Amino acid sequence: MDAVLHALRITGSMTWEITWVLILGFALSAVVQAVVRKSTVVALLGDDRPRTLALAAGLGAASSSCSYAAVALARSLFRKGAHFTAAMAFEIASTNLVVELGVILALLMGWQFTAAEFVGGPVMIVLLAVLFRLLLRDRLLGQAREQAGRGLAGSMEGHAAMDMSVRKEGSFSARLFSAEGFTSTAHVFVMEWAAILRDLVVGLLIAGAIAAWVPDSFWRTFFFDGHPLASRLWGPLIGPLVAIASFVCSIGNVPLAVVLWKGGISFGGVVAFIFADLLILPILSIYRKYYGLRMAAFLLGTFYGAMVVAGYVVEFVFGGLGLVPDRGSATIPMEGVAWNYTTWLNMVFLVLAGALLVRFFRTGGRGMLRMMGGAPGGDDPDLRD
């Protein structure tokens, strides 16, 4: 029982440390999604030119989402006419290049990890675009498009199908600060939280348990800590495989990344581990449903290869520049609630979250929650496709 309580204390401390960051990140994302229609996104992602992929990454980063919803949304964009490569770039950015991820990494591990994430993410997208150009055949893409058109359900389909943006015309500020803008922002904010909550809780519990129960000596041996070159070569290769086996995705894998970093995984290995939230076993199963077995295998191979190379890039670039932080600077929060800046920020942002939550339930939010796992592209009028 003491061991269980110790793990739960670590989990609670981690949760308290990152609460305000999550609220801030989802609030900013909600503002963007409230005024940018999904039909506009589709129209902008019609090819795989560098400018289009950069735009896809930017739109994805502004539309943060849980991994399941991001994968479902990418399939939805592809079905409506977006280029497959652009849809994948959007998917990667919406889980790995978002504000809340960067801030949490900076708080728990150091700003260098935030910089590495935002360097490695574009590297991964470029590598995937090149791999798709070289290896993706029209026949396989055609089979994937046909399979996607069948509309088989994966996870978070109803959430991905919803377009909760403001319908009225006008300037960005006019739409955002209108009553409808407040409602749309509240709807997106709460739905994003509902989508990610399960993965976040699981990730925090797993990280707390591993931090409390798995000795550091195991991780140091597993990651070849003490053998610098072997560790740097091994980290990006094994990081994604640990992520695949962990079943943890989205923001939920950051607490576990802290534990792995403290345990001895290399700098690039941490980055590759975080990117692999889109390759966990349940999502690989969803890729098979969405695009067919052959395309799922293709995505596994190309995504894994791009993650490994991106991990090597940040490992050797940041290492060469002397920007790899000391492991001792990483923090596994254990002190719980204290009167510091975290507590004051949590209080402020919890008030904001409360206001948005009240607006959500006063404007039909319960119906949206019931439709989160519904069929893709549903016909309900609340799914504003």
pLDDT at 177: 79
Higher local confidence (pLDDT), 198 or 385: 198
The per-residue pLDDT for 385 is 35
Q: In this predicted model, which residue has the larger pLDDT, 358 or 382?
A: 358
* pLDDT of res. 383: 37
Cβ partners under 8 Å of residue 175, min gap 6: 34, 35, 166, 168, 169, 181
Q: What is the pLDDT of residue 378?
A: 46
The yes-or-no verdict on residue 381 having pLDDT over 50 is no
Q: Give the burial string for 172-188 (b: 16+ CB within 10 Å, else e).
A: eeebbeeeebbbbbbbb
pLDDT at 310: 96
Q: Residue 62 pLDDT more than 70?
A: yes
Largest Cα separation within the chain, whole Å, is: 60
Pull the structure tokens for residue 281.
Answer: 């076993």
pLDDT above 60 for 377: no
Among the listed residues 274, 273, 269, 275, the one whose alpha carbon sits nearest the alpha carbon of residue 319? 269
pLDDT in tens, 159-179: 566 667 777 777 767 777 788
Q: What is the pTM of this model?
A: 0.79
What is the average pLDDT across 70-93?
90
pLDDT of 256 reads 82
Sorting pLDDT into bands at 50, 70 and 90, what band is 370?
confident
pLDDT at 262 over 90: no
- pLDDT digits over 82-139, tens only? 999 999 999 999 888 888 888 888 888 889 999 999 999 999 999 999 999 999 999 9
- The model's confidence at residue 209, banded by pLDDT at 50, 70 and 90, is confident
**Is there a contact between 60 and 89 (Cβ–Cβ < 8 Å)?**
yes
How far, in Å, CA of 176 to CA of 36, rounded? Answer: 10
Best CA proximity match to 108, nearest among 208, 246, 321, 257: 257
Q: Distances in Å between the alpha carbon of 356 and those of 154, 343, 349, 350, 359?
A: 28, 20, 11, 10, 5
Average pLDDT over the chain reads: 83
Please indicate whether residue 198 or residue 383 has the higher confidence score (pLDDT): 198
165 touches 34 (CB < 8 A): yes
